[in-house]
Amino acid sequence: MYEARIETVMQNLARRGLSQMLVCDPRSIQYLTGAYVEPGERFLGLVLGEGRTPTLVYNEMFAVPADLACAVRTFNDTEDPLVPAADLCDPARPLGCDKNLAARFLIPLMERGAASGFVLASDVVDDARAHKSAEERDLMRTASHTNDAAMARFKELVREGATEAEVAGQLEAVYRELGAQGHSFSPIVSFGANAADPHHEPDGTRLAPGDVVLF
């Protein structure tokens, strides 16, 4: 599965006239390799190149599966992570970069001459991720059914006087009882005027008669 996804990205790269790419978005790296790392301020990158083995460069403090669909290069906090990253790039060719490549890493790579040019190429991965396989579509349907069941349960939590925080604190348990792994992001529960804020964080607001309720 992962090899096929990487091949799709390489084909998309070729259509853009590129032969190598540095992927830094953790979710895209998970999609292409099966490894999920949330690096914080540290460097994380998957280097793809025509005729070369895809290689994940990450800090050795993080754990990744042993059966990754790629090679690995590790570094520690006393080492420069851009040394292995640059070594894996062809300096004679332009490098596609995704939108998650921070300037604190991009500029040093440019100064090192890691590639002949640097091109924003997030679309080659985004396009691959947008075209879902039959297996992915089945998983999405299952997740949707689970969410429908959860929403039916959530209605039972809505009662006058309850606070947003109290209700939000119960949501993950409901999802897990229904077979989900947990939240994809922190839940939004908002009452009344708070429902107009698309990124509202649940607080002590109490539900009053006539309030809009937004999950």
Mean pLDDT, range 107-120, rounded to an integer? 96
**Residue 161: CA count within 13 A, CB half-sphere:** 0
**Segment 159-213, tens digit of pLDDT:** 999 999 999 999 999 999 999 987 888 889 999 999 999 999 999 999 999 999 9
* Residue among 84, 73, 80, 87 nearest 115 (CA): 87
Q: Mean pLDDT over all residues of the chain?
A: 94
* Residue among 85, 95, 91, 102 nearest 26 (CA): 102
**Segment 38-86, tens digit of pLDDT:** 999 999 999 999 999 999 999 999 999 888 889 999 999 999 999 999 9
Identify the pLDDT of residue 1. 81
Percent of the chain with pLDDT over 70: 100
Q: What are the boundaries of each domain within the chain?
A: 2-130, 134-214
CA distance 2 to 150: 31
Identify the pLDDT of residue 68. 86
First to last CA, the chain: 34
Q: How confident is the model at residue 122 (pLDDT cuts 50, 70, 90)?
A: very high
Q: Architecture of domain 2-130 in CATH?
A: 3-Layer(aba) Sandwich (3.40)
How many Å separate Cα 105 from the centre of its chain? Answer: 19
- CB atoms near residue 157 (< 10 Å): 18
DSSP secondary structure letter of residue 41: T
pTM, two decimals, is 0.81
